[in-house]
Chains A and B, each alone.
Chain A
Amino acid sequence: MTIVNKDGLNNKKKIPLFKRNMSINIGLLLVVIMLIPAIFPQFISTHSYTEVSFEDMLQPPSSKHLFGTDNYGRDIFSRVVWSTRIDLTIGVLATIVPFIVGSLLGLIAGYYGKWVDDILMRILDIFMALPFMVIVIAIVAILGPGIRNLYIAIWIVGWKYYTRLVRSEVLIIKNSEFIQAAKILGYSNSRILLRHILPNVLSSSIVFAASDVVMCMLTGASLSFLGLGVQPPIPEWGSIISGGRAFISSAWWITFFPGIALIFLGTGFSLIGDGLSDILRTKGR
């Protein structure tokens, strides 16, 4: 019903991308706000994140200690601020590698098909046999706790979502006319794959990646909470929460504030994902 008149009789207003969608704006805002403590924690935090102080143990939030102190007298606010960098990094880094690897695998499996596809699907089925968390924890159990093994564990499991998403899109587009046209024109397979197919099949993966960042952050925080992820003295929101468990009745602030930080950053990424999904969906029309 909305058809643009080729004669230019009506001016179709060009609405800039960033104005069109509220979610993506708010999401970006939240993430950018969190980038400040991530990149410049020194300027935001009020104290050192390791400094112990026996007089100030388990103090509730006050003007001196914005988020209160823990059982070692450490300032929670500063610890939360300094953790931003590591949690954000985990979220992003743990997503990027599976995104790239998984998408490439899905591209190849979908395009070349036949036995390549079969093998990949079998492997996917195997990974489908176990819940995400179980495999991740099992791998960390074998390799030992620590950030590096956390990444390895998530990378080993995380690619399967992207492979499936990209593969189904490739299967749909593979038989479309413009691809057939490219083939007739004699373009090489790799050229078709990279220049023609790839840009069109990534949209659902990109949207998923936004929520994947949140998932990876939560996984990292959960593992650190269990003591299997980020090890002290590196501050991390999950670890801080874990430390607050013993004092749950006396010092709720230790547990509370790191969680808020996680929700804040996570909501930011989720909103970006939501916004992207809206934009990419209407672009196709």
Chain B
Amino acid sequence: MNEILEVKNLETNFFGKNEVVKAVREVSFNIYEGETFGLIGESGCGKSVTCRSILRLIRYPGKISGGSIIYKGINLLELSEKEMIGYRGNEIGMIFQEPMTALNPVLTIREQIYEALRDKKLTKSDKEEKAIEFLKIVGIPSGKERLSEYPHQFSGGMRQRAMIAAVLVSKPKLLLADEPTTSLDVTIQDQILKLINRLKREFSMSVLLVTHDLGVVAEMCDRVAVMYAGKIMETAGILALFSEPRHPYTVGLKNSIPYIGSQNEKLHPIEGSPPDLSNPPKGCPFEPRCIYKEKICEEILPELREIKPGHFSRCHFVEKLENEKGIIKL
């Protein structure tokens, strides 16, 4: 299988008045053509920043400080801004978490879809035709009236669909989805996820799906990377991750989900909170909260090692997890 995207040692920092927050710390992963790759982690772990870094959307006071982002063989970080514009939209597209803020409130839906159609040869009626067609594809009929409306006149789910339409008209090959369903309620979530899957097949796209929800990951992804405190902790195929998790954080995540048929009344959250990224610890960032920790974990940051084909883990004591049960049994 071909790689469509390879992220290598990506570093993105935010420069505050008195401190530097290291949001993405040497993150590496790759995405193969046609797959849905999940990036999961809790708030503040750096997954959204990673996503935005790929399209070089990081603005002051943030800066991509190092690493490479190789898309179809080209390192995007070495391109000029003008060249980068060529990749945005028609090669790589992005849908955002909150459509109410991602869509410009003072512009009509029409304007916001049209501006994605950058082909100068298209006439106005061509554009309208295309816009209505794509609105239909994402499940918004009566597109003609809808086009003249403003974002606040749409419902939450419709807004998300409209945003997806605006991204899809450029027919990107790689779709970055930054928590596309987090702000929607559960029934709509399901619809949107199914929509994304359908569109992925119809337009032969690869998808990077950023989320904090294990359920979404289970439903949508082929492979997953688990992120914590700006670093990748575990990368694996979806089945492997759910049947044989090999990182204490992943295990903790899995254990904190209540599931039907469980005998326990109590929830098991992971105790403690993530470290301060303006002063990241020199050892393993998860160490203070880890039940398997030993002295070395505080001192030395573990490497991301391939423990089985295609299954990577960043932990000194992977062996200790051999007996951990996954959510599913193979």
Contacts and interface: CB of A to CB of B under 8 A. Distances in A.
Nearest to B16: A2
B103 to A, nearest CB: 25
Given A1-B14, A1-B44, A3-B44, A9 B21 contact: no
Interface residues of chain A: helix, strand, loop or mixed (majority):
loop
B279 A1 contact: no
Contacts of A2: 16, 19, 21, 276-278
B19 A9 contact: no
B272 A10 contact: no
B53 to A, nearest CB: 14
Given A1-B21, A1-B23, A2-B19, A12 B273 contact: no
Interface string A213-249: 0000000000000000000000000000000000000
B288 A12 contact: no
A246 B18 CA distance: 53
B274 interface: yes
B275 interface: yes
Given A1-B44, A5-B276, A10 B281 contact: yes
Given A1-B14, A3-B44, A15-B18, A10 B275 contact: yes
Query: Size range of the interface on A?
Result: 10 to 19
A11 B278 CA distance: 11
Query: Size range of the interface on B?
Result: 10 to 19
Contacts of B46: 1
A1 B228 CA distance: 11
Interface string B272-299: 1111111101000000100000000000
A152 to B, nearest CB: 44
Nearest to B277: A1
Interface string A1-26: 11111110111110100001000000
A7 B276 contact: no
Interface of B: 14, 16-19, 21, 23, 44, 46, 272-279, 281, 288
Given A1-B14, A2-B16, A5-B272, 19 more contacts: A1-B21, A1-B44, A2-B19, A2-B21, A2-B276, A2-B278, A3-B275, A3-B277, A5-B273, A5-B274, A5-B275, A7-B272, A9-B276, A9-B288, A10-B275, A11-B279, A13-B18, A15-B18, A20-B17
